[in-house]
A = this chain, B = another copy of it.
Amino acid sequence: MATTTINDVNLEAVSELINKIKESPENAATKWQAEVNWHGAFRSDAKIRDFDPIVSDEPPGLGGTNSGPNPVEQLLGALGNCLAVGYAANASIAGVTIKDLRIEVEGDVDLHTFLGLTQGNAGYENIRVKVHLDCDGSEEQVQTIHNNVVSTSPVGHSISRPVSLDIQLAS
């Protein structure tokens, strides 16, 4: 059997999951959760499973106390982290060893809607990602890996496609 570990990625676990889903497609259904608690002003944190909460605040220019990255920055971080998983997974499947991977993410937000000055889009107008992938793959392999990552990124798709979002006040 071929080596199942490359880039330190546990391909056997991924392969087991794929087999489980092929046997029963409902095994592909996953649910994810976060609980956010407010701590005064624009400070809050997001608790996810048993991990240390992700601390959130706004910079002083936006009325915050700057004790952590703000939510729109966290969104960019989630996107970059998701793409990193994608490159690691797809490179490993292709037998390509990654030497270094660094991903720069940036995006533009116009504050008019957030501040109530206009109605419209309060979110990112666009997001740009530059991927620095240093690996032993051929140019063609790298391009295939890249195309696969872009077309299968859960956070990427959640941003580039409209997601049904239901926000309710608890009674």
Residues of B contacting A164 in the complex (Cβ-Cβ under 8 angstroms): 125-127, 160
Copies of this chain in its oligomeric complex = 2
Interface size class of A (residues with CB under 8 A): 35 or more
Give the CA-CA distance A117 to B28 in the complex, in Å: 10
- Shortest beta-carbon distance from A115 to chain B in Å: 6
Q: Is the interface of A mostly helix, strand, loop or mixed?
A: mixed
Residues of B contacting A18 in the complex (Cβ-Cβ under 8 angstroms): 115, 117
Give the CA-CA distance A112 to B80 in the complex, in Å: 21
Give the CA-CA distance A10 to B34 in the complex, in Å: 27
A139-171 to B contact mask, C-beta < 8 Å, 1/0: 000110010111111111111111111111110
Residues of B contacting A88 in the complex (Cβ-Cβ under 8 angstroms): 38, 41-42
